[in-house]
Amino acid sequence: MGGGSRPGTPGGPKAEPSPAGTVSEASELKIGAKAFFEKDGEIRQAEILSIRDMARRQNIQRSAEDKPIEGDEDSPLEYEFYVHYVEFNKRLDEWVPQARARLDKPVLFPKKKNKAPHAGPQPSARDKRRKTNAGTAIGTATPGTPQTPDATRHDDAVYTATTAADSFSKEKEIEKLRTSGSMTQSTSEIARMKNLNVIEMGQFQVEPWYFSPYPIEYSYTPVLYVCEFCLCYYDNRTQYTRHRGKCALQHPPGNEIYRKDDISFFEIDGRRQKTYCRNLCLLSKCFLDHKTLYYYVDPFLFYIMAKRDDRGCHIIGYFSKEKESAENYNLACILTLPQYQRMGFGRVLIQFSYELSKAEGKVGSPEKPLSDLGLLSYRTYWSEVVVEHLIGFDGEISIDGLSRLTSFTTQDIMHALFNLDAVRYYHGQHCIVLSERVIDAYERFRNKKHRKIDPSCLKWSPKVFSQAELRYL
């Protein structure tokens, strides 16, 4: 482009977007606008979340309220836009150069917000009559005060932004997320942009999908180096190489409870290995959009699946579960690292969680809500196991009987049956009917080679925690 600075700055002329919604220069695009960009040979609409200088990438405008990027009069300023593709998952968000912007397409600019102050809820006539001796009303909410319970679950993915918009500070919320786990009022606001470019673990380099609250000095570095054994992280290769020469850990710091072929499982208590578990949560947050647990790991057990070779046990994935779950959840969070996805390891993690439930003599279910990939994996696993038991069973069986055989909850079994369209109403009662399509799909699945958990190789007994061990404060 020919302009030397962003419009509205002293270095160049002002350029206002035309009323028709089209622009002639990339400098006219603003944060919050929806424009068209080229992506994989296609033209897709995307929302602009941030703007930066291609030459000086630390010069970033993160919100519409920030000061626009200033350029020099001598050299032209070229922009990069951090965009979210409309109707696509956030994991596809990326920085795109201005050359990929299609300025010949219409642009939707954000509407101006009404800055009128929010008056808050008005007290009723009854509340006005109810006065204390001090003359203050009781039962009325103070404007801007979050109406949330005192005890907030740290692993809950659902948050309600109850604070006023004017009082929201992105910097304070990010710092709160880094230091206090998931206690943040507006996770959707601070996590819209990825803060890491590339993560290097051992021989693999992977691109993060989502925001993760790593310390600010490690954010926006070209490569974040993570030790694949202790999960410590470094922002330059020299420090990482020095650490690898000193790190004596060759497997996750827990008890090995399963081993067969080249696969092992390790059980780790979040209370005893806090540093490792917090590092694991930071790493997994790069690939899980709804995960918010980071600091408060004491109430959880972590089960790490690792692949063994002559150099040690390399982490493949993990799942966590609460030590005491009131809802009988057998899994709180599950992740297969991207370098090991589409290899059947996710199914192994799910099967292992149910083998633990069988050893406990309980039925279990994953904690809701599941991520998109998690729901897809669980739905497939439930359907395959239910069909396997139905085909191999001779006689009549009820939903409760299937639950006892599989350790699935009856709700999960019904979810799988309805997903298979296997529930029919016949002669006044509901029955299970497997169609030829379902049977053929199961036969194709059975003919493939899959990794499976061998229950005889599990060396584990259910843990019983005392009241003192369950005190986390």
Catalytic residue annotation: 367
Distance from C-alpha of 174 to C-alpha of 197, rounded to nearest angstrom: 18
Amino acid at 314: H
Question: 52: closest CA among 33, 71, 65?
Answer: 71
Could you tell me if 202 and 314 are in contact, meaning their C-beta atoms sit under 8 angstroms apart? yes
Q: CA nearest 160: which of 176, 147, 141? A: 147
Look up residue 137 and give its DSSP letter.
B
Q: Which residues contact 452 (CB under 8 A, 6 or more apart)?
A: 348, 351
Distance, in Å, from the CA atom of 300 to the CA atom of 282, rounded to the nearest integer, reads 15
* Burial 318-335, CB ≥16 within 10 A → b, else e: bbbbbbebeeebbbbbbb
d(CA 174, CA 188): 11
Q: How far apart are CA 60 and CA 51, in angstroms?
A: 6
CA gap 393, 395 in Å, rounded: 6
Query: How deeply is 81 buried, as exposed, middle or buried, from its count of CB atoms within 10 A (0-12, 13-18, 19+)?
Result: buried
Residue of 92, 49, 31 lying closest to 192 (CA atoms) = 49
